[in-house]
Structure 1
Amino acid sequence: MVSPLLRTLAQVGRHALRAAVWLLLILSLRAGDLAIEDTASRVRQYTRPWEFDYVSWTLGALFNKERQAVLDLPRYLAPAQQRQVVLDYLDLVRQLDRVEADIADFYAHPEVKNPEVLTAPLVARRARLLAEWQRQRLAAEAVLEHQISTVIGDMGLSLGGQPLPPVLYHVTPLPMALIVSPRTVIRQEADISLQPDLPLETITHLEQNVERGLNVSALVVPVGGIGVYPSMVMRSDDLAWLVETVAHEWIHNYLTLRPLGMLYFASPQMRTINETTANLAGKEIARAVLARYYPEFLPPEQENEAHPPAPGSSPPARTFDFRAEMHTTRVTVDALLAAGKVEEAEAYMEARRRFFWEHGYHIRRLNQAYFAFYGAYADTPVGPQGRDPVGEAVRTLRARSPNLAAFLRRIAWVTSYADLQRLVEETAPEPGG
């Protein structure tokens, strides 16, 4: 039996470790901000009224996480009880999402004249569900953090039994990202976080103003998670997606304490290496978590699509390969831009956007900024990254590594694409071997 003194010392140690990690991550994030400040400063002339306040959010999230840490709920629950906490939470989110969709339907229905009257019972139910969601979410977060941490530890990615940094995430409405690329080449030059739930009219005007004022390509995109600390994760009842997103963002936190993450903004290649690594590792960790704790939620081994169909739209035909078609689009756009045919490339992207729409993929805008954002996630051979060798090199290094821990320890110290290429060459099998 552990004495009260030893237990207290262990708790103090965990709090001190968290505090040190928070300080290191905050310093690293500020360094990254400074690296892109010159590029983003012109864009911020347009975005300042709608920018997201990370400082206030982080302080509130840290307060909630300290409350959660004091309770240390997973320690008092049997594995079956931990699992039930998560399943009950997911069911609650499902109910909340359904009520909110019903309310939206009443307001959108052309025959409904007084939606505020008809939706009054639904609004009251939503308020009750939101209050219950607020009550349950910290417990569900604590359990999933514990389960993911256990799997990470078993994979050899812990220090003294504790992942470093500790796995911490918080479900919250996420900021949207304004992505800016030059028109003449696909390259992300700014990524500005905006307030959640901005009206589409505001988003459209902002994109247009930035494009006209700076002669660039701009696009506001939704994100599913952000690797601040604690990580920000969107509310969802999809357990497989939730675990993968938490794992993905933890990989970013892990890398932030190492050269690869510190140099995230150093070049487009470094961003692609970071995001591809997080995608590969996040999926691998998530599958291990689901296999151990929630095997009925384990999805089949298959490539996820980079841009799913819009909610409520008809599912795409099975013969339509979104990734292959998007890969073809990107390769063609790159060729047109390389030839200096900017207007032709933009006309082609709009035609392809309509093509995707007809096949059930409701992409609002398809432009250089779209590819600058989605093209960094190169964990599959084809997709919006086009003929980018960086993602292929990351995938090759993972395939040549004996396990995930060995892969992450190798790639975490990469400081350039040339470094990555050398690692790939060093791990190449012997001829005839």
Structure 2
Amino acid sequence: MAKEKIVLAYSGGLDTSVILKWLKETYDAEIIAFTADIGQKDELDGLEEKALQTGASKIYIDDLREEFAKDFINPMFQAGALYEGQYLLGTSIARPLIAKRMVEIARAEGATAIAHGATGKGNDQVRFELTAAALAPELSVIAPWRLEQFREEFPGRAEMIAYAEKHGIPVTASAAKPYSTDRNLLHISFESGMLEDPWFDAASDENKGMYVLSVAPEDAPDQAEYIELEFDKGDCVAINGNKLSPLQVMETLNEIGGKHGIGRVDMVENRFVGMKSRGVYETPGGTILFTAHRKMESLTMDRDVMHLRDSLITKYATLVYNGFWFAPERLAIQALVGESQKNVTGTVRLRLYKGNVIGAGVKSPVSLYNPEIATMEADPTKAYDQGDATGFIRLNALRLKVSSGVEQKAKK
């Protein structure tokens, strides 16, 4: 009989390298490794050789960067998603794409299960498995870190390193970087290790070497830089007059933003599983894009449509953070968001200076701003009669007067 096939989300790090070998031995299964190229850069070097040497029968290394930018980052930014007022959801939005491709590979290869190296304390386990449940409920999911047998065998990193050495698994693990990272096209995150102390200053001079995508704001150029972003129906399609694909937009903005120390966030957030955790993020390009998109909307989006969409931002961001990208409620909100973006078209000019993204102008062929109506001078259009405001205020004040009268009577 043919062996069972398991598709493993594989990064080549200590955890997934050990898990690959452990799964193969424990389940007597054929392990197909999968790595999504979503912008990790040199982290992908040597992965194919490492996976095959560790015991994988095959490895997929798929370039998903353009899909990531076009079908995941752009729709999320159109929704104005921001988790707990700070986090641009860089890790969260990547997981449904990775899981989606895992499911596709599992079906193509005739696999019966997928596996991941996410821990039982984090959010990623939920994101991977909710996506699998939505797209391929027939597949089983193996999460070694939630298996008692695996945890007993590997109570700590020392045991994992010893296992790797015993089986000739080529991994590097040291205390040189006492934290974990996750990088993609949108951001890089840092957590655990020394960062578990929320009083620890991750931005101090001695910790400058931790950061990858950006310089410290104080080390950024003393001269401000102006850039122009062109939008079409809610998506950035050009920078400084150069037409770009969604992938090229993110790569260009990351380079420009990183140079000016833009997009660093240090926060304590609430995980879906119930605990608080401290995360440090670099999102230079995303921060510029988020700010520019909002400014474009301010000129072109109807007030009540904007307020309706904004009322859903917390819900939408929470859905993304918690792993419900393919849930019907996220898709329903996205349909409304898409409708709201039909006229979000035009150009935004920004001034970048030492970690700051400052608005410096906005224009659009479908602008809803009319200077002749908004002017404090005489209105040549006669579209707004200031005297009309008297009745408007009187009607809106009616319920306040009635309520105040009731309260005053109660005090007597």
- Shorter-chain TM-score bucket reads under 0.3
Larger radius of gyration: 2
TM-score (norm 2): 0.24
More strand by share: 2
More helix by share: 1
